[in-house]
């Protein structure tokens, strides 16, 4: 085994086992969502287009328990397996759990140029078990190949798609929380700002760990 393969194997051995760990590819189609101020009206959300035009968005769905909707034909049509997924290791219940009232949407850090949902997979698995919620982690496009605002467009689109398709993700989305660190923390805030500007539902909570918010050429006060 190479060093990378060995480290990857050790991570899988030491991390929490989950029943659902799949990559989904969200197609680039316009979405219609209810207007937050008047649900009888709707607002159109377009797929990301910056720099090279409309394109799909890749996300990872992690759930400690297999929940309603997560094994549906509609969801699995968007999926690409990555290792054991939708499996039922010894000790797990073979019954499908009900929809969770909570959905966690995660944006990884990495300075907008590095990292993926895979590099943050270990603690996301633990969170899914400890919080008993499904987690959707967005694999947004990275700079320099995909400079601003591509990542923001993709994360906002994934957020809107999750609101519209929460029943496929194992959640009723009664409460939706965004979470991310560093660049991901920035995306939590900016996705919420974009939701407000579009008039769609804003998240019920944000956990932004050391978010990048003061992007200037000068040293920040904290430094």
- Asked if 170 and 104 count as a contact pair (C-beta separation under 8 A), the reply is no
Q: Which two tokens stand for residue 49?
A: 């287009």
- Mean of per-residue pLDDT scores for the chain: 90
Q: Is 90 exposed, middle or buried, given 0-12, 13-18 or 19+ CB atoms closer than 10 A? A: exposed
6 has a pLDDT exceeding 50: yes
pLDDT band at 214 (very low <50, low <70, confident <90, very high): confident
- Asked if 187 and 148 count as a contact pair (C-beta separation under 8 A), the reply is no
Q: Which two tokens stand for residue 39?
A: 């649900």
Query: What per-residue confidence (pLDDT) applies to 64?
Result: 97
Query: What per-residue confidence (pLDDT) applies to 217?
Result: 74
Give the mean model confidence (pLDDT) for residues 117-140: 97
Q: Report pLDDT digits (tens) over 84-96.
A: 445 444 444 568 9
Comparing 4 with 121, the larger pLDDT belongs to 121
CA distance from start to end of the chain: 41
3-state secondary structure the chain: CCHHHHHHHHHHHHCCCCCEEEEEEECCCCEEEEECCEEEEEEEECCCCCCCCCCCEEEEEEECCCECCCCCHHHHCCEEECCCCCCCCCCCCCCCECCEEEEEEEECCCCCCCCCCCCCHHHHHHHHHHHCCCEEEEECCCCCCCCCCHHHHHHHHHHHHHHHCHHHCCEEEEEEEEEEECHHHHHHHHHHHHHHHHCCCCCCEEEEECCCCCCCCCCCCCC
7 has a pLDDT exceeding 60: no
- Domain range annotation of the chain: 16-86+95-209
Give the mean model confidence (pLDDT) for residues 15-43: 96
Query: What per-residue confidence (pLDDT) applies to 84?
Result: 42
Query: What per-residue confidence (pLDDT) applies to 52?
Result: 92
Domain spanning 16-86+95-209 has what CATH number?
3.40.50.1820
Query: What per-residue confidence (pLDDT) applies to 95?
Result: 80
């Amino acid at each position: 085994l190479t060093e990378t393969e060995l480290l990857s194997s050790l991570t899988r051995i030491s991390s929490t086992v989950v029943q659902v760990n799949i990559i989904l590819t969200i197609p680039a189609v316009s979405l219609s969502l209810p207007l937050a101020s008047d649900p009888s009206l709707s607002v159109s959300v377009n797929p990301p287009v910056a720099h090279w035009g409309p394109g799909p968005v890749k996300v990872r769905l992690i759930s400690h328990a297999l929940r309603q909707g997560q094994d549906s034909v509609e969801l699995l049509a968007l999926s690409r397996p990555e290792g054991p997924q939708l499996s039922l290791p010894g000790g797990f219940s073979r019954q499908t759990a009900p929809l969770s009232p909570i959905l966690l949407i995660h944006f990884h850090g990495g300075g907008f140029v590095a990292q993926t949902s895979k590099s943050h997979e270990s603690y996301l698995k633990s969170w899914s078990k400890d919080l008993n919620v499904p987690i959707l982690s967005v694999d947004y496009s990275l700079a320099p190949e995909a400079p601003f605002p591509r990542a923001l467009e993709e994360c906002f689109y994934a957020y809107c798609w999750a609101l519209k398709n929460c029943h496929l993700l194992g959640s009723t989305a009664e409460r939706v929380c965004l979470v991310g660190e560093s660049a991901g923390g920035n995306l939590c805030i900016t996705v919420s700002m974009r939701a407000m500007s579009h008039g769609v539902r804003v998240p019920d909570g944000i956990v932004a760990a050391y978010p990048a918010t003061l992007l200037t050429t000068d040293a920040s006060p904290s430094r």
